Amino acid sequence: MMNNYDANPNKAEEIVKDMDNKAIQDKLVNFDEFKSYLSSKIELGKNLGMDEEQLAKGAEKVAGYLAKNAEPQNREEALLQELWKVGNKEERHKLAHMLVKLAN
């Protein structure tokens, strides 16, 4: 049985903050590696009982953190960052859902 702590999307932000910058940059260098990494985290979330909405909220937290704190390492990430920056709250939420689908 899952408790609220396990599926809390705010945990995603805490985990990203706890990762050292090198670990984050290593995952961002190659877009395929980024998708694979995201896919493994989505699978972990599913195993914890998170539904698509909870996964998207977690993806929003991570994407917001990365948009503010990480330099894009390739064209795809630069495009995602630009889309994130110009999007409003609703558009960012939809983009987070699309990222979950992309990596799933």
**For residue 93, what pLDDT is reported?**
96
Contact 66, 41 (CB under 8 A): no
Going from the N-terminus, what domains does the chain have, and what CATH number goes with each?
Answer: 10-103 (1.10.760.20)
Tens digit of each residue's pLDDT, the chain (104 residues): 344 445 566 666 666 666 666 666 666 667 788 888 889 989 999 999 999 999 999 999 988 988 888 888 888 889 999 999 999 999 999 999 999 999 88
Q: Reduced to 3 states, what is the DSSP secondary structure of residue 19? A: coil
Looking at this protein, which amino acid is placed at residue 30? Answer: N
**For residue 66, what pLDDT is reported?**
86
Q: Is 49 left (phi over 0), alpha (psi -120 to 50) or beta?
A: left
**For residue 79, what pLDDT is reported?**
93
pTM equals 0.69
